[in-house]
Structure 1
Amino acid sequence: MARLVAWLRGNADGFLALVIAAVVALLGVLDVFGTEQVNAAILLTLALLATTLLRDRWFAARALAQTTAVRLVTGPEVGRVHADAHHETEQWMFKGGTGTYLRAVTLPECVENARRAKRPLRVQVEIIDPADQALCHEYSQYRLSLTPGPDRTGDTWTLDRTRKEAFATILAACWYRQRFTFLKIEVGLSKVMTTFRWDISSSWVIMTQEDPAAPALLFEKGKPHYRAYSRELMASFEQTRQIDVGRARDLQLSDEPSVEEARKLFAVLDLELPGSFTDRDVADIVRRAIQPKNPYW
Structure 2
Amino acid sequence: MGRLLIWLRNNVDGVVALVLAVVVGLLAVLDVISVDNVNAAVLLVLALLATTLLRDRHLSAQAVRDANSVQLLYGPEIGHAHTLARRGTEQWIFKGGTGTYIRAVTLRECVENARREQRPLRVQLEILDPTNEALCKTYAQFRSSLSPEADRTGESWTTERTRKEAFATVLAACWYRQRFTFLTIDVGLSTVMTTFRWDLSSSCVIVTQDNPNTPALMFERDKPYYRDFNRELVASFKQTKQVPLSRSEELPLSDEPTVDQVRSLFQLLSLELPAAFTDRDVADIVRRALQPRNPY
TM range (shorter): 0.7 to 0.9
Query: Does 2:43 match 1:8?
Result: no
Q: Distance in 1 between matches of 2:102 and 2:62?
A: 35
2:121 — aligned with what?
121
Question: Deviations 1:160-184 (Å, cap 9, x if unpaired)?
Answer: 0000000000000001111110000
- 1:233 maps to a residue whose letter is L
Greater shift in the superposed pair: 124-133 or 256-265: 256-265
User: Which shows bigger deviation, 83-92 or 62-71?
Assistant: 62-71
Q: Which position in structure 1 is the counterpart of 2:225?
A: 225
Question: What whole-Å deviation, never above 9, does each CA across 1:51-83 have from its counterpart, x for those lacking one?
Answer: xxxxx7x99777544422200001011001001
State the partner residue of 1:176: 176
Aligned equivalents of 1:102, 1:213: Cα separation in 2: 20
Give the letter aligned to residue 184 of structure 1. Answer: T
What is the distance in 2 between the residues matched to 1:11 and 1:253?
68
* Residue 147 of structure 1, CA deviation: 1.3
Separation of aligned partners in 2, 1:198 and 1:248: 27
* Deviation at residue 261 of structure 1 after TM alignment: 1.2
TM (normalized to structure 1)? 0.81
Say which SS state the counterpart of residue 224 (structure 1) adopts: coil
Q: Cα RMSD over matched residues?
A: 1.9
Per the TM alignment, residue 251 of structure 1 is displaced from its structure 2 partner at its CA by 1.2
Number of the residue aligned with 1:290: 290
Higher mean C-alpha deviation, range 222-231 or range 97-106: 222-231
Q: Distance in 2 between matches of 1:83 and 1:180?
A: 21
Superposition pairs of residues 25-36 of structure 1, within 5 angstroms: none
Partner of 1:86: 86
**For the residues of structure 1 that align with 2:66 and 2:113, how far apart are their CA atoms?**
30
Are residues 294 and 8 of structure 1, via their aligned partners in 2, closer, same or farther at CA, if it must alter by over 3 Å? same
Could you tell which deviates more after superposition, 85-94 or 60-69? 60-69
Specify the alignment match of 1:256 in structure 2.
Answer: 256
Partner in structure 2 of residue 246 of structure 1: 246
User: What residue is the counterpart of 2:24 in the other structure?
Assistant: none
Length-normalised TM-score, structure 2: 0.81
Which consecutive segments of 4 or more residues in structure 1 shift more than 3 A?
3-6, 58-66
Q: Does 1:193 align with 2:193?
A: yes
Deviation, structure 1 residue 223: 2.9
**Count of aligned pairs between the two proteins:** 253
Counterpart Cα distance in 2 of 1:87 and 1:67: 26
User: 1:118 and 1:251 mapped to 2: Cα distance?
Assistant: 26
Determine the C-alpha separation between the residues in 2 that align with 1:217 and 1:234. 19
The structure-2 alpha-carbon separation of the partners of 1:178 and 1:2, relative to structure 1 and needing over 3 Å to count, comes to same
* CA–CA distance in structure 2, aligned partners of residues 135 and 80 of structure 1: 32
3-state SS of paired residue (1:148): coil
Unaligned runs of 5+ in 1: 13-55
Correspondence 1:36-185 to 2 at 5 A: 64-185=64-185
Task: Report the counterpart of residue 203 of structure 1 in structure 2.
Answer: 203
- Stretches of structure 2 that go unaligned for 5 or more consecutive residues are 1-14, 19-44
* Percent identity between the two aligned chains: 62
Write the letter of the residue equivalent to 1:245.
Answer: L
Q: Shift of the alpha carbon at 1:252? A: 1.2
Per-residue deviation, 1:136? 0.4
Find the aligned partners of 1:63 and 1:139 in 2 and give their Cα distance: 38
Within 2, Cα distance between the matches of 1:7 and 1:101?
A: 56
Q: Deviations over 1:130-164 (max 9, x none)?
A: 01111000000000001102111000111100000
Contact 2:72 2:216 in 1 (8 A): yes
After superposition, give the CA deviation of every residue in 1:208-245 in whole Å (9 maximum; x if it has no partner). 00122221000111333111111111111011000010
2:69 and 2:224 in contact (8 A); partners too: no
3-state SS, counterpart of residue 87 of structure 2? helix
The aligned amino acid for 1:2 is V
The question of whether the paired residues in 1 share the 8 Å contact of 2:66 and 2:224 is answered with no
For 1:83, give the aligned amino acid.
T
